[in-house]
Chains A and B, each alone.
Chain A
Amino acid sequence: MESSKVIHALYNDDEILLDAVKAVKAEHHHIEEVFCPFPVHGLDKAMGLAPTRLAITAFMYGITGLGIAIWMTNYMMIQDWPQDIGGKPSFSWFENMPAFVPIMFELTVFFAAHLMVITFYMRSRIWPFKEAENPDPRTTDDHFLMEIPVGDNEEDLKALLSKTGAVEINVVDKH
């Protein structure tokens, strides 16, 4: 991959960062990434990030879990090995359904929660033995880092960033 130059602008306050992101956006610069030590409310909107669809996946996974619970109780209790328990024979799934509600509920939650979290880990590329990719260790403490690709507008960008309150501006080669 071709190496490209980026500016790393560090901020030490969430409100200043948010205003800076808005200012940089207003000047039509592309913000590659912002690294934060904690969630800054409104940052995703200011950066123009699309809303996440993880909640929708959770719903679909939940439906899957419910379906598996229905299939499982029906196959095991009604079709494969029907029994007459306490004078309540297993003739049809629907008649026995009230006893299966706890299982249906638990499996819905189980599938929705775990598969959503796995999807989150995969999409955000976090898993055991993954190397961290934040360029500066201070971004997990109290600094916020804005990464902007630079072309031939380096000086302009620097001026703009220092005006918005960046405490440190570094130009680095990104591979």
Chain B
Amino acid sequence: MSHYEAPIREPLVLGDKSYHDITEDIAKPIEGKANKNWYMAFYISLAAMLWGFGCIFYTVGTGIGVWGLSKNIGWAWDITNFVWWVGIGHAGTLISAVLLLFRQKWRMAINRSAEAMTIFAVFQAGLFPIIHMGRPWNGYWVLPIPNQFGSLWVNFNSPLLWDVFAISTYLSVSLVFWWTGLLPDFAMIRDRAVKPFQKKIYALLSFGWSGRAKDWQRFEEVSLVLAGLATPLVLSVHTIVSFDFATSINPGWHSTIFPPYFVAGAIFSGFAMVQTLLGIMRKVTNMEEYITRLHIEYMNIVIILTGGIVAVAYATEFFIAWYTGSPYEYYTYLSVGAATGPYWWAFYSLLLFNIAIPQLLWIKKIRRSFIWSFIISIAINIGMWFERFDIIAIVLSKGHLPSTWWRFEPTFVDVGIFIGTIGFFFVLFLLYARTFPVIAQAEVKTILKSSGEFYKKRREQGIPTKPEIKVAKPAAKKESKSDKKDKE
């Protein structure tokens, strides 16, 4: 009965599949050749990335003055992008860690790509504060190391320093979690590789994984403990990012609901990005039988939930801003002032993309449709970018002192760096999709008998999942000494 699952549950692996079929399916995109679409997407992303790098070099060479920010709106476009990218990263850890703790089997088809997305997104996020320093070569000043300035240490009271610790811990732990899960899958590719160079590379990547019973026992324990550590970690990261705002004294930022609201928003945007990526990837890599309608629906349910939390947070912010009666609150990003001021378009974009459009997912047909999920996920990605833009640009554009009121306009460099990070992200993801096992095949094999369509059908017919034993012919006999020892 070890492979029992209630028949009412829909299968997670479609088709008539054996363990070997899973191996074949996952190895195919790696062993095959890339098609024209892949090359087209790759070159477009590469061009965007190079353009972004050009803008970064221009910024570093000339100075932050090439951006549209000013003394009053000091965190403009780039910190918006930083928070946006960090938020996107959260879904990967949520899928791999939180869903593991809850024993959700559907995570197994999507955790590998979601974690890859996390790592690549956090790379992009990390770029922005470093460029924002203006002198990135002094970036090591954020580390608590003995220095030549008279043992002047970093300030552990600062949320910006908490960010340094939170994000570096998050990135490195996610990377290790991801790689440990990849070892058995790299080993699978290694053991079936025919080209010697490929074999060498995957032998190196797999760290010599052999799959002993003891290794698997440790592997499962390590995964569980890492999941237990990563769950509070992922919540802490966006909590600390929200502290960047919440511990300040700006109206609109100084808000106690920021931590839970930011975490929900991060998961909301992260799942949207997973939908965007997997919507394309399942087609391109022929993983339609592993990433099914059911997976899409489950992710959409998480999106409805976290989107609902975000909507309630917006309503609370709007109400509280009005209820204080404070004139300073009149221009926060969720206020009448914002709705009627120069940033009205950003205000309404936020409501449209983040609150109105995701409500379509209440309809089951839309929730289970690939194309609709894809469109809605793009809308949420845009909406969540506007959320961060509104929080930063609208709030800072009208500070305590009316003579400092100022309007932010991005320059081509601002836009270029943002486009560059999107390009960089997709370059990494496209390379990943060609060279890494995009589905955790070892884990999917463990659920094949309980949640595979083939075995579920057989179980309904009363056929056990354990195949009948066909006694093999004894192996070719050697010159038998056959001095049998009897044993009980």
Contacts and interface: CB of A to CB of B under 8 A. Distances in A.
A43 interface: yes
B191 interface: yes
A87 B316 CA distance: 32
Interface residues of A, number: 89
A58 B228 CA distance: 11
A42 B2 CA distance: 9
Contacts of A126: 183, 207-209, 215
Contacts of B236: 102, 105-106, 109
Contacts of A80: 151, 153
Contacts of A132: 187, 190-191, 203, 206, 208-210
B176 interface: yes
B23 interface: yes
B475 A158 contact: yes
Given A105-B236, A109-B229, A114-B173, A159 B474 contact: yes
Contact of B169 (A73, A110, A128): A110
A163 B474 CA distance: 10
A166 B471 CA distance: 8
B71 interface: no
B466 A76 contact: no
Interface in B275-303: none
A33 B232 CA distance: 37
A37 B191 CA distance: 11
A1 to B, nearest CB: 19
Interface string B200-225: 00011011111111111111111011
A171 B190 CA distance: 25
A36 B155 CA distance: 50
A38 B442 contact: yes
B19 A142 contact: yes
B162 A81 contact: no
Given A52-B218, A76-B154, A109-B169, A127 B207 contact: yes
B148 to A, nearest CB: 14
A2 interface: no
Contacts of B229: 58, 62, 109, 112-113
Contacts of B190: 132, 140
B485 A152 contact: yes
B138 interface: no
A168 B476 CA distance: 11
Given A13-B466, A141-B23, A170 B475 contact: yes
Contact of B156 (A36, A43, A103, A171): A103
A124 B187 contact: no
B19 A16 contact: no
A175 interface: no
A166 B155 CA distance: 64
Given A43-B213, A99-B156, A109-B169, A141 B191 contact: yes
A66 interface: no
Given A37-B211, A39-B446, A42-B2, A140 B172 contact: no
Given A39-B219, A52-B218, A114 B172 contact: yes
B342 interface: no
A55 B467 contact: no
Interface in A24-41: 27-28, 33-41
Given A116-B226, A123-B218, 7 more contacts: A12-B19, A14-B449, A40-B213, A110-B173, A126-B209, A134-B187, A140-B187
Top 10 A-B pairs, shortest CB-CB distance: A130-B208, A165-B469, A142-B19, A137-B191, A76-B153, A15-B466, A102-B162, A126-B207, A39-B216, A134-B210
18 contacts: A15-B465, A35-B211, A38-B445, A40-B213, A41-B446, A52-B221, A55-B225, A76-B144, A76-B153, A88-B157, A106-B165, A107-B165, A116-B226, A117-B226, A126-B207, A127-B208, A132-B206, A167-B472
Interface of B: 2-3, 18-20, 23, 144, 151-157, 159, 161-162, 165-166, 169, 172-173, 176-177, 180, 183-184, 187-188, 190-192, 203-204, 206-222, 224-226, 229-230, 232-233, 236, 240, 243, 442-443, 445-446, 449, 465-467, 469-475, 478, 480-485, 487
Interface of A: 12-16, 19, 27-28, 33-44, 47, 49, 51-52, 54-55, 58, 62, 72-73, 76-77, 80-81, 83, 85, 88, 96, 99-100, 102-103, 105-107, 109-110, 112-114, 116-117, 120-121, 123-134, 137-142, 152-156, 158-159, 162-171
